[in-house]
Structure 1
């Protein structure tokens, strides 16, 4: 296999969920430039060239099922990129709908041996290991309806927020590495630091202000969607064939420098993100 084969997407069939804008759009456009046949599913219109665009609402399992039925053939790579910042649909849009889609793709043999899946998570979900028991209690609800009911039942407890939705992704990726690998399928996620996307700009003070001191100290700029998309492209490529169950932090070193105290000003906030302060 040549280097171009390892890192390229020539002849591959790719699905990007949430690819209308941001990191998903960046991954979709890069995959297409590398030779992939690209389908984008999104509730928003897709305004750049793709091979197929399917309107789909992650908050509605019937919409997800109909979108899957509209797919052409099998898939070599799935990018689960959609997400929102808050609101009553947070868990449906950020995790429950994605899980429903992925598990239906697997159960209907749309993704088969040799394929790969990559989520967009966040450094905000790094607390999943410290809070694994609670996150696994949520994940034990096996379908869209039961998971949604669990969230409704716990909405007044104060721990279901953006960070919990991303912790669920990270734990799911870790837990599914084994059963999916037994089918020949890999699953990973990226955990981006601050990235200049429409969603981040809508929450600019919090999202783009995070780690500003570290960026000023190191000269590292805010990430671009293309940087995050490239990390996803790598994880779903044949070059990453030995990698599964991993949540890859893409943040110019802020998290690790802060956790270890190498960058001491970042340690207090990372203690929170790492779960030293519990969800509930």
Structure 2
């Protein structure tokens, strides 16, 4: 077996969202693994060794198209790591977290080599996606950013929390896309992280409160580090995962498994965290 089991040496990859947090950690590790890494974000990336960096606003279709054209060429891997919390306007949250990511990905698909792979960061906040398929089908049925934003604004009340909606959409889109993309030998997966110790955690704290965040950190007793979320992304897009596609991978130290099987009870964990506060 090759020592380069992940197979990134000499591969050409794009990391959307490499300004900070998981995306920054991912880009740094990919550079270290010998990949040709092209970064994109709305803010400049501090990662040394990038082959290029382009400023891209995922709310703006023209910016998305310009970013793809500026990087150009063919790629082997696409990492979609950008995201907004609920402290931003709902229509921007669903755009950056899903609608813009989908358009960005669609723009890269004609440039993706056979054997290529796509991975997107979703969230445990989207883990109830299978129970909301009729509504999500409506949302995903909007072909572009403008139509998707209009749908959200017209349906915000029944759609609920925009962050949850956007992550449920990522999970659904990932699994719906997998069979068709596999016909072209392209894989697509996503991860569902538990809370991560990044600057965005403060935004989630404002929305959810300390008790809820503490409950979601219960399985491990702490929040995840950016590196602990970056490495599973790298694995899913690597040669080592060549037979994995259409997976929504929980990266949460066993939390979602405990909740699904009844070993853990979220409401009890929140109550316990509130009692300790």
TM-score (ref. length: structure 1)? 0.89
The offset of 1:267, in angstroms, is: 6.1
> CA separation in 2, counterparts of 1:190 and 1:174?
12
CA contact (8 A) 1:261 1:267 kept: no
Residue aligning to 1:47: 46
Residue aligning to 1:119: 120
The offset of 1:268, in angstroms, is: 6.8
Counterparts of residues 11-90 of structure 1 (less than 5 Å): 11-49=10-48, 50-86=50-86, 87=89, 88-90=91-93
> CA separation in 1, counterparts of 2:76 and 2:56?
20
What is the CA RMSD across the aligned residues, in angstroms?
2.0
> CA separation in 2, counterparts of 1:168 and 1:213?
24
> CA separation in 1, counterparts of 2:28 and 2:210?
24
CA contact (8 A) 1:40 1:53 kept: yes
* Shift in alpha-carbon separation, 1:202–1:152, aligned structure 2, 3 A: closer
Residue aligning to 1:210: 212
The offset of 1:227, in angstroms, is: 0.4
Deviations 1:10-51 (A, max 9, x none): 001110111111111111111111001111110011122122
> CA separation in 1, counterparts of 2:200 and 2:103?
23
The offset of 1:259, in angstroms, is: 2.0
* Shift in alpha-carbon separation, 1:208–1:174, aligned structure 2, 3 A: farther
Alignment counterpart, residue 100 of structure 1, candidates 93, 103, 118: 103
Secondary structure (helix, strand or coil) at the match of 2:212 reads coil
**Structure 1: gaps of 5 or more residues:** 271-280
The offset of 1:180, in angstroms, is: 0.8
Residue aligning to 2:139: 138
Secondary structure (helix, strand or coil) at the match of 1:130 reads helix
Counterparts of residues 262-277 of structure 1 (less than 5 Å): 262-263=263-264, 265-266=265-266
Which stretch of the first structure deviates more once superposed, 19-28 or 143-152? 143-152
* Shift in alpha-carbon separation, 1:181–1:208, aligned structure 2, 3 A: farther
> CA separation in 1, counterparts of 2:52 and 2:188?
24
**Structure 2: gaps of 5 or more residues:** 271-277
The offset of 1:113, in angstroms, is: 1.2
Residue aligning to 1:178: 179
* Shift in alpha-carbon separation, 1:230–1:219, aligned structure 2, 3 A: closer
CA contact (8 A) 1:201 1:208 kept: no
The offset of 1:85, in angstroms, is: 0.7
CA contact (8 A) 1:5 1:238 kept: no
